[in-house]
Amino acid sequence: MKRIKEKILKVFFSDTWLGAILWFAAAAAMLALLVWFLVYSGFGEPAMPVYENF
C-alpha cells in the first residue's frame, strides 16, 4: 500500500503530462463540487415548513 501511495505521489508531483492531467482532473472535480453546492444544492434558501407537504 505504501508503494502505491509513493508511486501516485511521484507521478502527481512530477513535471510530466500525466501529472498535469491528474492536477487538471482534481481541480475540475473540486470546481464541479463547488458549482453543485452553490447552484444546485439549494444552499441559502429558506427552509420549507414541514406542514406544507401535507
pLDDT of residue 54: 63
Give the pLDDT score at 35: 92
Question: Contact, 11 vs 18, CB < 8 A?
Answer: yes
Alpha carbon of 53 to those of 11, 15, 20, 48, 50: distances in Å? 52, 55, 49, 9, 6
Q: Are 41 and 35 in contact (CB under 8 A)?
A: no
Please identify every stretch of the chain with a pLDDT value under 50, giving residue numbers as ranges: none
Contact 25, 15 (CB under 8 A): no
* pLDDT confidence of residue 28: 98
pTM: 0.66
Q: Quick one: cell of 26?
A: 482534481
